[in-house]
Amino acid sequence: MEEKKRFIPVMLTPYSENGAIDFEALTSLTEFYIAAGASGLFANCQSSEMFELSPQESLQLIEWVVKQANGRIPVVAASSVAGDMNTQAAFVKQIYALGVEAVILITGLIAGEDESDELFNKRVFQLFDLTAAIPLGFYECPEPYKRILSPQQLKTFVNTGKVIYHKDTSLDIHQVQKKNAATRGYRFGLYDAYMAHAVDSLKAGSAGLSCIQGNYFPELIVWLCEHFNEIKLAKEVNLVQQFMIDHMDIMHEVYPIVAKYFLNKRGLNISLFSRRAVGFFDNSTKLVMDKLYSDYVVLAEQIGLANDAVLLQNKQ
């Protein structure tokens, strides 16, 4: 029997209007993901505005999420401190000490954009040696630049037993298929960020999804992970996949502010404040998000998720 597909949300960071981390809202947000059926949590990632957080703030954020999850579901977190491999390894150790399942390495911090795969690989193995038995993963984060691992690179790293997690942002279903084929049989999971090919990715063997759409309607991503391969629900699955394709661009504009606005409509008390310069949340953007919310309500009714969606809204 195929293992259950998992949804791992890339967590937002709620702020107070003065720009400080709002830990009360972070508690509510964590519970929102869990209530929606998330199988794990990805703290301190790009959606968390990790590069706008100080190292100490990142550690506080991760520690808070781990304590709130309280063993109900695992937490992974990215190591967002740049520097040589000794510096990065030291931060990896600090994160792991907080109780995460794995520490996720950012590919763009290990080697520069003009540096070779050979040098990248050498530094990865240095990190492996410096972090002893700590489980690790990779994150093809768009910042500081997007460095995509090849299927062969990923297989080489996974083969060591150190790498159990990969957040793929290649946006290329052929690459995803090859990476899954190359790592099949290992204690490892590839989590795809690109919802435009979500169904094909899950069918190709991806362990699950880890996408920004989960910061709008996490229960919909959970539903897709559960039903993507059910013949009797093929029509509904196609509706969900097309919904993701049709609304892809608008969910990335002025993000993460737009996601925080959407979650307000869902009932979460979360400020729209962001430390990132992502553009202006004007009235036209607001109207687009209002339309997205209406479209989602219709979709939820079409696939029989309406009661669950309302429940999650009213629980907040």
Any residues with CB less than 8 A from the CB of 310 and at least 6 apart, and which? Answer: none
Residue 11, pLDDT score: 98
Residue 316: predicted pLDDT: 38
pLDDT at 300 over 70: yes
pLDDT, tens only, 3-42: 899 999 999 999 999 999 999 999 999 999 999 999 999 9
The pTM (predicted TM-score) of the whole model is: 0.95
Query: Each residue of 180-199: pLDDT tens digit?
Result: 999 999 999 999 999 999 99
Q: In this model, does residue 62 exceed pLDDT 70?
A: yes
In the predicted structure, residue 297 carries a pLDDT above the cut 50: yes
The CATH number assigned to the domain with range 6-228 reads: 3.20.20.70
Domain boundaries, the chain: 6-228
Q: Which of 164, 165, 245 is nearest to 200 (CA)?
A: 245
> How far out from the chain centre does Cα 65 lie?
14
Q: Is the pLDDT of residue 1 over 70?
A: no
With beta carbons less than 8 A apart as the criterion, state whether 90 and 123 touch.
Answer: no
**Does the pLDDT value for residue 314 go beyond 70?**
no
pLDDT for 94: 98
Q: Alpha-carbon torsion 140, 142, 144, 150, what sign?
A: positive
Per-residue pLDDT tens over the stretch 64-88: 999 999 999 999 999 999 999 999 9
Looking at residue 3, what is its pLDDT? 81
Looking from the CA of 103 toward its CB, the CA atoms found within 13 Å total 25
pLDDT value at residue 2: 64
Pairwise CA distance, residues 180 & 67, whole Å: 32
